[in-house]
Structure formats: C-alpha cells, structure tokens
Amino acid sequence: MRFDTLIRQATVTTSTHQEVADVGIVNGKIASIGNLGDASAERVIEAEHLHLLPGGIDSQVHFREPGLTHKEDIESGTRAAIHGGITSILEMPNTNPNTTSAERLQEKLDSGAKTAWCHYGFFIGASTENAEDLADLEKLPGTPGVKIFMGSSTGSLLVSDDDDLRRVLRSGRKRCPIHAEDEPRNKERKALLSDNPHPREHPYLRDATSALIATQRILRLSEETGRPVHVLHISTADEIPVIEDAKKRGIGTTMEVLPQHIYFSAPECYDRLGSLAQMNPPIRSEEHRQAILAAVQRGSFDIFGSDHAPHTLEEKSQTYPASPSGMPGVQTLLPVLLTMVHRGWFPLSTVVRMLCENPAKLYGIRGKGHLEVGYDADLVLVDLKQEKVVAKPMLQTKCGWSPYEGDTLTGWPTHVFLNGTLVVENDERIPQRHAEQLEFA
C-alpha cells in the first residue's frame, strides 16, 4: 500500500496503551497503524526514539483579537500554538468588543480563516443581556459553546448574580466552562491591600475562599438546572473535594488544571517573577500546589489548559495591583507537561488523556484528539529527552516573554502535522497555512 505520509517506528501513545508502530496517513486521515512492512509513501519520517501523540488541544486561550491586538492576535497566537505542538485551540470571548453575538463570532471565524496556523473555535460569552439568546448562539458553526465569567472580566462578561446565572444555565445544553471566583468577596478584599503593594499579595487578596464560594455556587446551580459545567483553572486544595463529590453524584461536572498551578508556588514565584507570575485565579502556596498535583495523579482532573493570557512587558511593569493579570503559555504548554512527565510526576498517558482526548470528547470536536484509524491526522512527534532553555528568541507570542524564561524544559515537539501535512519540523514552520475551522457535535 502507498501512503501520503508514513511515520516509521514511533512509540505510538494513547491514554490507554503504547506500542512501537508505523502510522500511515492518506488524504489527511490516519489510515493504518501497525507493522506496515515494505509500504511506501511520498514522505517517510523515521521516528525511532520519538513518541507520537495526537495533536494537543488547548481549550482555554485568549488571543486578544479584536481590540487588544498590540499584545496578541489570532495569527501570532496560533503560530505560537503550532510551534508548541498544539494543533487546535478554543479561544475565549473576553475581547473588545466581547464575543457575545453571531456577528462577533463570525468576525473571529473570518479572521481565523485568513490568518490561523492551527485549527480554531471560539466561545460565545454569556452576559446578562444575551442570556435568552444563548441556546441559539451555542449551536452556531465554529463555537464549542458558552463561557461564563463569575469573576470580573472585560466589558459585560460578568454574570455573578444567582438569578442571572440560572437564566444563562437554562438557555442551552452544551457544557459551560466557568471562571469561578466570587466577585463580591474579591471587591471587599481590595481594601486589604498593603501600603507598599507587591504581587505576592495577589493570592491573599483573591483568596482560596473566593474560589471555593464561587465553585460551590455554580455546582449547586448546575445541579438545580441540569446544565453540566466545566470549572476552569482550579487553584485551591479546597475546591478539589467539592468537585470530586459532584462527580460522584453524577451531575456532569468536569474540571481543568493549568501547568502554572503545578509548576510554580507562592511566595517564591512572586519574589522571583513579580507581576509576571500574576494571574487569575492566583498561583498559591505549596500546600495548594501539592494538593492539585495529587489530584492529577489520582485522575480527578479532566483537562490541561494553558489559559494563555498575554500582556506586554510594559503593562506588566506597572505597580501592583495596576499590573494586569495573565501570562502567555500556549507554546510552552506541552513542553512543560512533558517536563513533568520527565520528573515522574505523572505518565505520558495522562498528558494524552487531558490535553488531547478529553478536550475533544467534552466539547464534541469532530475528528480530533485521538490517535486511531479514521481520525484526522493532527499529530505531534516529541523527543522526551530533548532539553531546551526557554529563551525570548524562540517565543512566537506577540507579547514576547514567558514566565518559564531561563528554565530548562525536557521534552519538546520535533514534528507537527495538521490533517497529515507536516507544518513544523524542528521548530521550522512551512509558510503555507493548513488550519481549518473546527466542527462541533
């Protein structure tokens, strides 16, 4: 048999098994996996000593287009993604203007069609103004569904009142990702800012109780309305048992963890990085970090995401709390997770489950996330032993910095495929775009 592309002797890795095998690709899809003997192909890649994974799906990124494109846009954000082995992204609605209507969604989709380097979909933002329209909006092509901000965000994207949350949750059926922080508590605690403010105060002002209160509220409302929710960027030891209990009760709850909340801990990260470590919800103490890692190890978390939220160094240099919260991370998401695999924190199968298979499953992304015959050949070859120091010249994000700068990460993508086409090889990107709008069940 003749293939378009043949990947020879890679360690094929899924969430349930590994095997050294050949993978044949035809017409953009995985056509065969196994010992393909003397099969031929237009392109043959010898992948002995490399691991083959499904392409990563980063289900929480902020690419700042429209309105804030001095710090990122769809072109630069997806370029960073593809260089990091991320083949699909789901982008959040807190742009300027917010993505709260069919027209605003279409504007993003049009931009993606012209400029994106990886596959893309865009969330609709819930607001008090569009609550009754969300059931129709979530069905539009190109969107995985509706994002709810319970903590402050840009424009009108704040739904903090229980009655408004009920209206949003009852308008539609798709799983809702949730930013769960308690806005009234966050506002009250601003008065506790010291006379000489420093970013190390951030996890104190936006404390663990704020996250826990909001998470408890949204789980109660989810159960009441029958609407499944996906609680984003869990940052506290306190929330984990609450969500684990909700899972046991079968109300459809899932949860996300960011590598930042496993890799960094306070106060060290704030002393070393200052406002570059400032994000919402905050990086917290070692006690919280250890609890989060333990929950990953026992399989409680469903998804890894980056929460890629870039700001310029000039913006970040403002005195806290004027400095904005958020950090870039889509390009380093997979290498940081592979570094954790190298350290023995969890197996490679956990990365495949939480970065590839589960995002496709939870958001109904057609053809993506699985290394199986018949699926789209969005694939990434990784060298688990390759070491690189994160440095500015390698970064593709428009903001031009990373909280991991100067750190040595072990495990990097060597080849990235979109629909069977090799688009990045040893960090060199081909100039043609092959990205497509994602399809959602």
* Residues 15, 33: Cα–Cα separation, whole Å: 16
Given this model, what pLDDT does residue 93 score? Answer: 97
- Residues 269 and 306 placed together within one structural domain of the fold: yes
Given this model, what pLDDT does residue 160 score? Answer: 86
- Residues 32 and 150 placed together within one structural domain of the fold: no
Token couple for 116? 């994106």
**Into how many domains does the chain fold?**
2
Given this model, what pLDDT does residue 319 score? Answer: 97
271 lies in some domain = yes
Q: Is the pLDDT of residue 42 over 80?
A: yes
- Residues 310 and 245 placed together within one structural domain of the fold: yes
* Residues 294, 431: Cα–Cα separation, whole Å: 42
Active-site option among 73, 182, 307, 378: 307
- Mean per-residue pLDDT over the chain, rounded: 97
Q: Where are the alpha helices (DSSP H) in 92-207?
A: 102-115, 134-137, 162-169, 183-189, 202-205
Would you place residue 154 in the very low, low, confident or very high pLDDT band (cuts 50, 70, 90)?
low
- Residues 177 and 254 placed together within one structural domain of the fold: yes
Q: Using DSSP, state whether 84 is helix, strand or coil.
A: coil
* Residues 84, 11: Cα–Cα separation, whole Å: 19
Domain range for residue 219? 55-363
112 lies in some domain = yes
Residues counted in the chain: 441
Active site residue 307: yes
- Residues 187 and 79 placed together within one structural domain of the fold: yes
* Residues 147, 387: Cα–Cα separation, whole Å: 36
Which contacts qualify for 154-157: CB closer than 8 Å, 24 or more apart? 154/94, 154/95, 154/96, 154/98, 155/94, 155/96, 155/97, 155/98, 155/100, 155/127, 156/98, 156/100, 156/127, 156/128, 156/129, 157/93, 157/94, 157/98, 157/100, 157/125, 157/126, 157/127
| CATH number for position 87 | 3.20.20.140
Would you place residue 153 in the very low, low, confident or very high pLDDT band (cuts 50, 70, 90)?
low
CB 438 within 8 A of CB 88: yes
- Residues 72 and 28 placed together within one structural domain of the fold: no
- Residues 26 and 94 placed together within one structural domain of the fold: no
- Residues 48 and 59 placed together within one structural domain of the fold: no
- Residues 206 and 230 placed together within one structural domain of the fold: yes
Would you place residue 155 in the very low, low, confident or very high pLDDT band (cuts 50, 70, 90)?
low
Mean pLDDT across the stretch 174-184? Answer: 96
Phi, psi (degrees; rounded to nearest 5) at 7: -100, 115
* Residues 54, 368: Cα–Cα separation, whole Å: 8
Q: Is the pLDDT of residue 216 over 70?
A: yes
Q: Is the pLDDT of residue 424 over 90?
A: yes
CB 246 within 8 A of CB 300: no
Give Rg (Cα) of the chain.
21
How far is residue 439 from each of residues 121, 142, 145, 177, 436, measured CA to CA in Å? 8, 6, 12, 18, 9
Q: Is the pLDDT of residue 104 over 90?
A: yes
338 lies in some domain = yes
Given this model, what pLDDT does residue 157 score? Answer: 87
pLDDT tens digits, 82-100? 999 999 999 999 999 999 9
- Residues 173 and 48 placed together within one structural domain of the fold: no
395 lies in some domain = no
For residue 323, what are the contacts with CB-CB under 8 A and spacing of at least 6? 199, 275, 278, 315, 316, 317
Q: Is the pLDDT of residue 251 over 70?
A: yes
Given this model, what pLDDT does residue 325 score? Answer: 97
pLDDT tens digits, 313-325? 999 999 999 999 9
